Amino acid sequence: MHRPTGEPAHTAPPGQHHIDARHIDPRVLAALLHRNGWHRTGGNRGPYTRWTPPDPGATPTSLLVPTSRAFPDSDDLLAEALAALTRTTTPSARDILAALATPSDEIRWHRATAPVTHLHGQTPWAAQDQLRTAARQVLLAAAHTLHGHHALVDHVLVTTPPDAARALTAHVPVDPGRPVTERLHHALHATRAAVDYQRATGRPDAFDTAVATGAGPELTEALVALVHGTEGATITLAWAPATRAPTGCATRPEPVEFTPGDLPALRQAGARYRRALPSVAAQVTGTVVRLRRPGPHGPGTVRLRVLTGADAPHLRVTLDEDAYRVAVRAHVEGLPLRVSGRLESRGGHRRLTDTHDVAVVQVDDAERDRLLKTLDEER
């Protein structure tokens, strides 16, 4: 079964994480248990701590975690704790194991919605798809403001609770993803402040200042998609426990919430950002996800899923007949297309015009297979 369109990454069950207990810092494990709602029982002193799961009736009933590696049986206890986490019925074990497998910053999305009707125990795909697509757009908005980081989004691990229509967690590897998480932290808080300022004064000036933090049309539009049709949406960031918070960021960032009352300001800001975007020369590389022309001959338009060269997830590209033929070849062979031209904003969409130097980009078989898989998921 294909994962829902727009899903930021692959969802892995807990048992698929291969973790060596000898490489686990017990302090990191304890911090992750606390972050995910496990309860520490007993005193604060002693060589071990006992943790009980947040869900009543879950198994195992508790974990025993050493406070350091100074004790002879610490490796055995950590191995037993990891084994128990792979078997537990507690959904938060996914997030804990994912964070242990690869030191990662966590980004949690939660949408406040009315109860979703379940069919045979499954959450409807449409609600899952809306959340996953919006979450991916939020991540892409931050990644596109940093050169060379947009491809990271396709490799971010995602875990979901039982109610996947309302919440999900992205695990962004500290290396190389910390700049993306840091940029998103600043951009979200600046956008929240700009919305508050506009709602209080009627003036959009703060959105101009927010651009320096990474705010822009992609982020405001992603937030609109996240909030639309809900009673509100919250994004919460948490730094990997094994690392320090980036300079200028809170050690425990406050959740950032947006509500339906914020939508007019966000939409106005997005439109304002789009109007202000200048036309610039650009060389863009992307995968061809759609082709269209009015007849069997002549110029046509293609839609690119951007890999490099533009701060937008997709672009419309106008091509002459010869260049369109090259785009068809790239699409059929599952290879990227490289195009030079003028990057413009029209009607709320990013376009590449005055195109030239259109060429197919050769990649190795593994990369081609990955691009083909991504293309299948966008259809």
pLDDT at 376 (0 to 100): 59
Separation CA 338–CA 358 (nearest Å): 6
256-258 sheet: strands from edge to edge: 157-159, 167-173, 104-112, 232-238, 256-258
CB 162 within 8 A of CB 90: no
pLDDT tens, position by position, 283-300: 999 899 889 998 888 889
**Structure token pair of residue 375:** 């293309």
Separation CA 338–CA 323 (nearest Å): 11
pLDDT tens, position by position, 314-342: 888 989 999 999 999 999 988 899 999 98
pLDDT at 43 (0 to 100): 66
pLDDT at 124 (0 to 100): 64
pLDDT at 85 (0 to 100): 92
* One-letter amino acid of 2: H
Q: Which of 88, 67, 91, 66 is nearest to 76 (CA)?
A: 66
Q: What is the pTM of this model?
A: 0.69
Higher pLDDT, 146 or 131: 131
81: exposed, middle or buried (Cβ count in 10 Å: 0-12, 13-18, 19+): buried
Domains of the chain (ranges plus CATH)?
Answer: 14-101 (no CATH), 104-276 (no CATH), 280-378 (2.40.50.140)
